[in-house]
Amino acid sequence: GQQVMQIPQYQHVQEGEDFTTYCNSSTTLSNIQWYKQRPGGHPVFLIQLVKSGEVKKQKRLTFQFGEAKKNSSLHITATQTTDVGTYFCAGQNSGGSNYKLTFGKGTLLTVNP
């Protein structure tokens, strides 16, 4: 079945440093979504990427979807303490009737003020 691998599992940074998490799928995706889960909270949708090579920005966050639609990344510039949480990618299969989103295991980001 489809697998979505996410690295690193943990990342600790000093406030102001940059952060990147990477997501790789074993199959071609129709779209990839990113979610953020604060400690003790529930996942909250950040963005969806659909097109090959797509790049989207949300303030200090930059999201990329690979040309082959099998990998993606989230980059945070100049991290702040409010960025703390676990970032999950979730990929949806291309074609067929499989509507399942497959989540990566997430990257836990901690920020030292």
Partner 1 sequence: DGGITQSPKYLFRKEGQNVTLSCEQNLNHDAMYWYRQDPGQGLRLIYYSQIVNDFQKGDIAEGYSVSREKKESFPLTVTSAQKNPTAFYLCASSIVAYNEKLFFGSGTQLSVL
What 49-57 contacts at long range (C-beta under 8 Å, 24+ apart), as own/partner pairs, is none
DSSP letter string over 79-99? Answer: --GGG-EEEEEEEEESSTT--
**Minimum distance, C-beta of residue 16 to partner 1, in the bound complex (Å):** 27
- Contacts (CB under 8 A) with partner 1, residues 20-79: 30-31, 33, 35, 41-45, 48, 50
End-to-end, the C-alpha distance of the chain in Å comes to 41
**Which region, judged by CB under 8 A, interacts with partner 1, from 57-65, 68-76, 77-85, 104-112?**
104-112
| Nearest Cα residue to 96 out of 49, 27, 47, 35 | 27
Q: Which is nearer to partner 1, 90 or 111 (CB)?
A: 90
CA dist 12 and 110 (Å) reads 5
**Which region, judged by CB under 8 A, interacts with partner 1, from 13-21, 55-63, 64-72, 97-105?**
97-105
Binding positions for partner 1, rule: CB under 8 A = 1, 4, 6, 9, 30-31, 33, 35, 41-45, 48, 50, 88, 90, 92, 99-106
